[in-house]
A and B are shown apart, each in its own frame.
Chain A
């Protein structure tokens, strides 16, 4: 470990020559190895957001119900009844590619800690997953490992996994995306923050012991992959959900006392980022003695202690007179509890090991002078609007529908959900697949949260600004479709290498689109995470700004799902133009991935959504489903498959070709199953909302507008075949 600290080592640690120059300037001398380690992780893309910060500032972050926006461990919103929802989504893309099970598992563990560190009991997990082509030899193994990892961790800690989304595309062959979201609940006047305070107060380490795992994980997550990614396996951490469960219970028990001054989990860059951020936020100094840190291995160096990303650890500043109270709680839960330092007034982080000062860095410049780049951008060339009349259909409606509901992007995800405990806690009102958003009731109250994750990467690739708008609008729509009032989002911005102008252009445009939608829908961003350098061998992923949306229902009993009851009218809300560009029909049936994606009219989005929500809350709607991937016919089929009840679907307006009308992906649309369609259409007209009765439920078949018929069972067979059959293929091969 006696490496000489110089520019070439700095480069190895991911610092540019210019950045290393700044380090020398701040330190006024050559830094020690540990100091260089601290700078390199704090200034990594992962921790410093150096390429993205200038753009992130454009996002709306405020609303009367926002208690804490971006900048804390997670976002906090007021949900009524004196409670706050605390939530965030975070990526674990790179680790999940190298080691799918542990990568995904520790992704769940990390996001849980971000939420309970603020005082919340986690009540729901969701995820947003993107995998490579099902035909790529590696995809199956990655899907299997990621799903087992998410389940293995979430099931054990006892937090229900209630929702999520999955896409497949060859652009993710070498770089899957694993975005995990946690939602927790806390009394709104008992939120715990990370700003350290109180000169002389003890700095306490709790949780698991520190080992050599995950050293420089944050740096790994800030670089592209080459063909040698397998060799990076040692940078992936190993999760221990049992210890996490104990940590949740112990922290919540301690939080019920008045012992904690500040608390922060040790996530990326471990002890370094937690101690630096806590001290910097509080405007104080911090002194650590690494000999006091509980260690799993012997002979660890200061560098290794500071850079380790061992999981299930937290750092706290305690009131000195409450130390014994805290110690007793952690001892009860069999967790390590060690005083490893204290708060100072020096404004510096001083790290001692074996009596030697291994690091002594002024915090203000370490934090404030972190690099900030306005990288060059180029606009994504826009595709042309496809004229539906010029896109020929060689396949009948029934056959196209059967193919679509069975394609990898639309088929049943039951194989995945069935491995996630979605009911632990006993409050899950709408489980995965039952509604457009998951609905989780709050224990002992009528109130419920609605939760969803959304993004349509193919739209984002074709037009990042429209894609950004659409991702936010779809999350808002999915919450609305269960009857919830959308409150706020967390975002997980997954992009390629920001040093390439076309990638930075995608990023900037997506932010622009998101910002417009957040503004128009009163749907601010309260937390988030940026994951850049999602490239392997210079091939970038599709731009994927995943949105995690949270809404509230005053009464869980008002939530509606998508399962179609019999003998009701189906009313289509929203305007239909037959937009085929970037649609799944175009890709799966016509074999083309071109054209402009559907535009997102935010005024229509708002008007239509507010109307739908009001109708649901007034009790006029028995089932609701938004129209998204695959268009109206797929949405109708999904409602039918959810209950087993058939539909008779009426003919469509003559001015739009049938395949475009039924499979086009115009936005801001919903399907409502209602007892009284005449009243519904009338109410819609009065509200300036396009509405049309398009189907009647009943029987066991779908009778399509071209006169063809397909049974709900046949659709279900197609819908349910892909996942188990595909995953089985591997078992047989082995």
Chain B
């Protein structure tokens, strides 16, 4: 799968992302400056983390107006693959490609720590190398990761199986009382599993065609045992193999 990484001014995890993609695919991803509009030949467009345009306005709001966004929208409409991580997820919601919004973390502080993500389905190009219900470790590093959408939208995401990943305990339990649906296993974990306060513990979501994934935590920072874990690697391996 041929990948490109979009670089907006202020993006700062593009190098981490490039390392992870190259490690799994053997190919260097193309770096795409935000004023470029030609995405031809790319199967996967990645929007990495950072602070696009300083995020002095709402996170991702300025980037969503960049010239490259029209091309990214067209790429999505064509059924192309898109991965948006952290600021990338925020940009995808600001651009209307994914529903909902990322609000300030519940505790109103930046959160930099490991978290555990539960894989809600494993039949997508992003999660094919994980098992459904499995949890994996990822790095959280954001000030605005508190996923929010109205109840109708959340119910639609749940109903259509578009919730990709949820914050969970290492054993895969979701904080009690966070999810109204009866068919999702819940446990007696503390609220710490969902530190940023996301609605229904949602860490990542898909578009209905399952080809666009937005998520807050960083799988790309845990792809080398030296950094403490390779839990993020299966995501990039799956993309490389697709």
Chain A: residues with CB nearer than 8 A to chain B?
148, 151-152, 155-158, 240-243, 245-246, 333-334, 417-429, 431, 441, 443, 556-557
Chain B: residues with CB nearer than 8 A to chain A?
9-10, 12-13, 15-16, 19-20, 49-51, 53-56, 109-113, 139, 141, 143, 218, 220-221, 223-224, 226-228
Please tell me if the beta carbons of B19 and A443 are within 8 angstroms of each other in the complex: yes
Chain B residues contacting A152 (CB-CB under 8 Å) are 110
Question: A557 CA to B227 CA in the complex, in Å?
Answer: 10
Knowing that A155-B112, A242-B51, A417-B112 touch, tell me 17 more A-B residue pairs with CB under 8 angstroms.
A155-B51, A243-B54, A245-B51, A245-B54, A246-B10, A418-B110, A419-B109, A419-B110, A419-B112, A421-B141, A423-B218, A424-B12, A426-B19, A426-B221, A427-B227, A428-B227, A557-B226
Please tell me if the beta carbons of B227 and A158 are within 8 angstroms of each other in the complex: no
Question: A240 CA to B55 CA in the complex, in Å?
Answer: 11
Question: A423 CA to B49 CA in the complex, in Å?
Answer: 12
Chain B residues contacting A421 (CB-CB under 8 Å) are 110, 112, 141
How many A-B residue pairs have C-beta atoms within 8 angstroms? Tell me: 89
Q: Would you give the shortest CB distance from A591 to chain B, in whole angstroms?
A: 34
Known: A419-B110, A429-B227. A156 touches B15 (CB 8 A): no
Q: List 9 A-B contacts (CB under 8 A).
A: A156-B10, A241-B51, A245-B54, A420-B112, A423-B139, A423-B141, A423-B227, A424-B221, A426-B13
**Interface residue from B12, B223, B228 paired with A157 (Cβ < 8 Å):** B12
Please tell me if the beta carbons of B10 and A418 are within 8 angstroms of each other in the complex: no
Closest to B11 in A: A158
**Interface residue from A426, A431, A443 paired with B220 (Cβ < 8 Å):** A426
Chain A residues contacting B19 (CB-CB under 8 Å) are 426, 443
**Interface residue from A151, A245, A419, A424 paired with B10 (Cβ < 8 Å):** A245
**Interface residue from A151, A243, A334, A443 paired with B110 (Cβ < 8 Å):** A151
Chain B residues contacting A419 (CB-CB under 8 Å) are 109-112
Chain B residues contacting A429 (CB-CB under 8 Å) are 226-228
Please report whether the interface of chain B is mostly helix, strand, loop or mixed according to DSSP: mixed
Please tell me if the beta carbons of A422 and B54 are within 8 angstroms of each other in the complex: no
Please tell me if the beta carbons of A423 and B221 are within 8 angstroms of each other in the complex: yes
Chain B residues contacting A556 (CB-CB under 8 Å) are 226
Question: A557 CA to B224 CA in the complex, in Å?
Answer: 11
Question: A424 CA to B50 CA in the complex, in Å?
Answer: 9
Question: A346 CA to B235 CA in the complex, in Å?
Answer: 63
Question: A421 CA to B19 CA in the complex, in Å?
Answer: 18
Question: A240 CA to B10 CA in the complex, in Å?
Answer: 11
Q: Would you give the shortest CB distance from A227 to chain B, in whole angstroms?
A: 32
**Interface residue from B10, B50, B112 paired with A422 (Cβ < 8 Å):** B112
Q: Would you give the shortest CB distance from B102 to chain A, in whole angstroms?
A: 15
Chain B residues contacting A245 (CB-CB under 8 Å) are 9-10, 12, 51, 54
Question: A427 CA to B222 CA in the complex, in Å?
Answer: 10
**Interface residue from A241, A246, A418, A422 paired with B9 (Cβ < 8 Å):** A246
Chain B residues contacting A151 (CB-CB under 8 Å) are 110
Known: A158-B13, A424-B141, A443-B15. A242 touches B227 (CB 8 A): no
Q: Would you give the shortest CB distance from B14 to chain A, in whole angstroms?
A: 9
Please tell me if the beta carbons of B112 and A156 are within 8 angstroms of each other in the complex: no
Question: A427 CA to B224 CA in the complex, in Å?
Answer: 9
Chain A residues contacting B218 (CB-CB under 8 Å) are 423
Closest to A444 in B: B19
Question: A441 CA to B141 CA in the complex, in Å?
Answer: 19
Closest to B35 in A: A332
Chain A residues contacting B139 (CB-CB under 8 Å) are 423
Closest to A557 in B: B226
Please tell me if the beta carbons of A425 and B16 are within 8 angstroms of each other in the complex: yes
